[in-house]
């Protein structure tokens, strides 16, 4: 299965113009976000006009500012005569022209794309650093549905930070800004080695921004893309750290509500950092809950059934489901439910039975499959009661022991097949693959059924 484009892969051209997209590809019209069919995370289609863009015009920033600086620079460097520059400027300024000065300079071989790109980065960086006092913007790290994230140097402390900047077009939306500040405040209350540390939330001009720990490395999503499947032991290590981070957040009264591979970052030494508490909400914040009631926030591939239903009380179980869907994706190479559109995916989260992960990847241990299936139970009461219990099970499974909380799933139909005879095809998937001292319910039930069967045969024989 191929993944649909991830939200944020195509930043809006209007996104953070001053800080803009120094190394981002030419902006394209934005596609609707899967799963965010309403709410502030979905810009309307008419907000998605592509910026004028040519060979060298790679930003949504005002090209005229860049072109003015560019003209001065190349003139000073003696790369172009004043006449040549004037000619290009006139042509670029013509009404019918859809080319910028940069395009013309490249077209006439007066500059290469590379030189242009380097200048553009310098330009954007110097412009940006004026916009956020105390920080020097270095490059763009990525963009999500809500904002763009930049790498920056915090000048006074000489440290690298990541700055999430809210696009200007959202600044008018008070609700959205409130959510943005809420993320900052929520994250600031959390302090854990596996959670991206929040440093500051503030405003500069029209832009609201959130400064946080810079995580040098990649996201779990990047790793899945690179490796297709993550081996069980590596996945368990990632999950244990993520579950510990979640337990900490839950204990402080916060639910992340958007756990997904893109929000699990991995440092270069493979330490997990849970990022993006953008949808975080205090469990006691009933007013915010009321406002969001009935809206399906979150990302559809990893969203819990109760979030889809827009239930009022979204608790830790929702994060456990999100982590379960992430675990499934990591070890099978695909998401638990895929579909032709977000509502199809969401419908399946609600109704479709999960295909056991070891059907997609037979190398998985049954204990680990049981854990993933329990995380992904449709009914939240059937999931782990807490992320701490999940850690317990994951640690047991990592030591090749039976999980304590997750139990093998079995249905009587399969059981009937298993007792009907050795020649019949039996696929009792839930039976543990590893031998263990524990007696599984499947084993007990099959003994009971066999005894009953034998007793019936004996009684029938005696009656004859
Ligand atoms: N603290 C950080 N350090 C380094 N890179 C980061 C950091 N936070 C985010 N990023 C990068 O920026 C990208 C965009 O992050 P953002 O949280 O805005 O969106 P997302 O999580 O990818 O998607 P969505 O908006 O749907 O949650 C991430 O995918 C990641 O690559
Ligand atoms: Mg994120």
What is the CA(295)–ligand 1 centre distance, in A?
A: 23
Nearest-CA residue for atom 22 of ligand 1:
144
Give phi and psi for 100, each to the nearest 5.
-95, 175
Of the listed ligands, the closest to the CA of 187 is 1
Atom of ligand 1 nearest to the CA of 33: 26
Q: What is the pLDDT of residues 394-430, one digit of tens each?
A: 999 999 999 999 988 765 555 554 444 443 333 333 3
**Domains of the chain, each with CATH number or no CATH:** 35-113 (no CATH), 132-214 (3.30.200.20), 217-398 (1.10.510.10), 412-463 (no CATH)
Protein residues with C-beta less than 5 angstroms from the ion ligand 2: 263, 276
Residue 167 has pLDDT above 50, yes or no: yes
For residues 252 and 330, what is the distance between their CA atoms, to the nearest angstrom? 28
Answer whether 36's CB lies under 8 Å from 308's CB: no
Answer whether 387's CB lies under 8 Å from 319's CB: yes
Range with the lowest mean pLDDT among 42-46, 258-262, 275-279, 454-458? 42-46
One-character DSSP codes across 267-308 = ETT--EEE---TT-EETT-HHHHHHHTT---S-TTT--HHHH
Pocket test for ligand 1, best of 163, 164, 262 (most atoms within 8 A of CB): 262
- The confidence score (pLDDT) of residue 63 equals 58
Residue of higher predicted confidence among 393 and 41: 393
Over residues 24-39, the mean pLDDT reads: 31
For residues 292 and 241, what is the distance between their CA atoms, to the nearest angstrom? 29
Catalytic residue among 258, 319, 358, 389: 258
- The confidence score (pLDDT) of residue 27 equals 30
Indicate the SS3 state at residue 119. Answer: helix
Please indicate whether residue 38 is annotated as part of the active site.
Answer: no
Over residues 139-151, the mean pLDDT reads: 84
Residue 146 has pLDDT above 90, yes or no: no
Indicate the SS3 state at residue 420. Answer: coil
Asked whether 63 lines ligand 1 (CB < 6 A), one says no
Kindly list the distances between the CA atom of residue 29 and the CA atoms of 2, 8, 170, 192, in Å, as whole numbers in the listed order: 21, 12, 17, 38
Q: What is the pLDDT of residues 1-15, one digit of tens each?
A: 333 333 333 333 333
Question: Which alpha helices (H) appear in 94-155, and where do they start and end?
Answer: 101-107, 113-131
Answer whether 352's CB lies under 8 Å from 337's CB: yes
Q: What is the pTM of this model?
A: 0.66
- The confidence score (pLDDT) of residue 358 equals 96
What is the CA(163)–ligand 1 centre distance, in A?
A: 10
Asked whether 300 lines ligand 1 (CB < 6 A), one says no
Asked whether 272 lines ligand 1 (CB < 6 A), one says no
Asked whether 162 lines ligand 1 (CB < 6 A), one says yes
Nearest-CA residue for atom 28 of ligand 1:
142
- The confidence score (pLDDT) of residue 293 equals 52
- The position carrying tokens 């069980």 is 232
- The confidence score (pLDDT) of residue 343 equals 87
């Amino acid at each position: 299965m191929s993944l649909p484009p991830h939200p944020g892969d195509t930043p809006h051209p209007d996104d953070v113009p001053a800080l803009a997209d120094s190394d981002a590809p030419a902006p394209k019209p934005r596609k609707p976000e899967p799963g965010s069919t309403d709410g502030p995370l979905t810009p309307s289609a008419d907000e998605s006009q592509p910026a004028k863009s040519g060979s060298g015009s790679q930003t949504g920033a005002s090209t005229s500012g860049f072109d003015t600086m560019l003209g001065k620079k190349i003139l000073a460097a003696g790369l172009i005569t004043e006449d040549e520059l004037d000619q290009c400027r006139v042509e670029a300024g013509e009404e019918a022209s859809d080319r910028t000065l940069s395009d013309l300079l490249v077209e006439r071989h007066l500059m290469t794309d590379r030189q242009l790109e380097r200048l553009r980065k310098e330009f954007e960086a110097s412009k940006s650093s004026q916009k956020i006092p105390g920080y020097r913007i270095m490059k763009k790290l990525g963009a999500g549905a809500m904002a763009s994230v930049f790498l920056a140097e915090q000048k006074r402390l000489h440290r690298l930070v990541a700055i999430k900047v809210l696009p200007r077009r959202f600044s008018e939306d008070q609700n959205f800004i409130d959510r943005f500040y809420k993320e900052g405040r929520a994250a600031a209350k959390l302090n854990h080695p596996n959670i991206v540390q929040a440093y500051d939330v503030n405003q500069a001009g029209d832009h609201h921004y959130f400064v946080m720990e810079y995580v040098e490395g990649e996201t779990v999503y990047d790793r899945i893309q690179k490796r297709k499947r993550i081996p069980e032991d590596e996945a368990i290590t990632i999950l244990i750290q993520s579950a510990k981070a979640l337990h900490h957040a839950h204990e402080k009264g916060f639910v992340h509500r958007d756990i997904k591979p893109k929000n699990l970052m991995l440092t270069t030494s493979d330490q997990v950092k849970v990022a993006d508490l953008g949808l975080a909400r205090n469990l006691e914040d009933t007013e915010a809950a009321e406002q969001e009631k009935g809206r399906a926030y979150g990302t559809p591939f990893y969203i819990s059934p109760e979030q889809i239903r827009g239930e009022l009380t979204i608790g830790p179980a929702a994060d456990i489901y999100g982590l379960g869907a992430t675990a499934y994706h990591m070890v099978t190479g695909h998401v638990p439910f895929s579909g032709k559109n977000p509502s199809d995916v969401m419908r399946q989260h609600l109704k479709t039975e999960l295909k056991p992960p070891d059907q997609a990847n037979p190398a998985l241990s049954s204990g680990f499959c049981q854990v993933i299936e329990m995380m992904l139970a449709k009914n939240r009461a059937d999931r782990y009661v807490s992320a701490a219990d999940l850690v317990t099970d994951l640690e047991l499974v990592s030591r090749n022991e039976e999980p304590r909380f997750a139990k093998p799933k079995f249905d009587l139909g399969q059981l009937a097949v298993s007792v009907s005879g050795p020649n019949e095809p039996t696929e009792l998937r839930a039976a543990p693959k590893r031998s263990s001292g524990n007696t599984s319910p499947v084993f007990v039930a099959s003994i009971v059924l066999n005894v009953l069967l034998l007793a019936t045969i004996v009684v029938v024989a005696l009656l004859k």
